[in-house]
Amino acid sequence: MLQAIDLTKRYEDGLLALDNLSLEVKEGEIFCLLGANGAGKTTAINLFLNFIDPTAGTALINGIDVTKDPLEAKKYASYVSENVMLYGNFTARQNLDFFAKLGGKRELTKEDYHMHMRKVGLQEEAFEMRLKNFSKGMRQKLGITIAIIKDAPNILLDEPTAGLDPTAAAEFIKILKGLRDNGKSILMCTHDIFRTKTIADRVGIMKEGRLVMIRTREEFLEEDLEKIYLDYMQEAV
């Protein structure tokens, strides 16, 4: 479970990027955060991952305060970003092996890695190919494979489908659904309202650092999510 309690970030230059965010993502739930460029979505994710320190408030991963016990908290979370950090000179399998060992998993074999890559729909010829020759979609698939191998109960994603072709994005979304159905808590920032409609259990809209709206799946399916979004963007904060 992911919890933000009055989470606030003011950057050194004085900009209030995140203003009192309170939010819970439960087990088996996909929560999508929408919002204009600069709304504070990445800031929220980066606070959960302890990449930056909050000005006020708390981020909890499985009840562990990420600033008080960052190493323990990170055991329970995986992160997939638009630009997944992978090693260009390593093959796909070597990247998996590196990150698995970093996470303390030493027992995995070549066949295990291949099985995982097959499951996320990466083509066989890519398994032993160097990352620098990978397309964006292939990198994203490998990024989610790392998350799957880590098997952490919480997954944070920052625009994971940005730049993916429609087939790759649809496959990616299917993988996320599977993870959700396995009980993971998933927090995803995205600009993709279409994908949000297909997978979100709840949606939040952020505007100028504030979470201005939350809708459950039932609620946003009754209305037009795109219209709700545009209406919120037009309204004064």
Ligand X SMILES: Nc1ncnc2c1ncn2[C@@H]1O[C@H](COP(=O)(O)OP(=O)(O)OP(=O)(O)O)[C@@H](O)[C@H]1O
Contact residues for Mg ion, defined by CB under 5 A: 41-42
The item of Mg ion, ligand X, none sharing an interface with residue 57, based on CB under 5 to 8 Å by kind, is none
Binding site for ligand X (CB under 6 A): 11, 13, 15, 17, 35, 37-43
Element (H, E) at 158: strand 154-158
CB nearer ligand X, residue 12 or residue 111: 12
CB nearer Mg ion, residue 42 or residue 161: 42
156 forms beta bridges with 79, 187
The one-character DSSP state at 189 is E
CB nearer Mg ion, residue 122 or residue 206: 206
Element (H, E) at 203: strand 202-207
The nearest distance, CB 69 to Mg ion, in angstroms, is 26
- CB 169, CB 82: distance < 8 Å: no
The nearest distance, CB 221 to ligand X, in angstroms, is 24
Q: Kindly report the CA angle at 197 between 214 and 7, in degrees rounded to 5?
A: 30
Distances (CA, A) of 4 to 47, 149, 210: 9, 26, 13
CB nearer ligand X, residue 42 or residue 95: 42
The item of Mg ion, ligand X, none sharing an interface with residue 40, based on CB under 5 to 8 Å by kind, is ligand X
CA distance 58 to 226: 31
The item of Mg ion, ligand X, none sharing an interface with residue 11, based on CB under 5 to 8 Å by kind, is ligand X
The nearest distance, CB 152 to ligand X, in angstroms, is 22
CA distance 229 to 213: 9
CB nearer Mg ion, residue 149 or residue 189: 189
The item of ligand X, Mg ion, none sharing an interface with residue 17, based on CB under 5 to 8 Å by kind, is ligand X
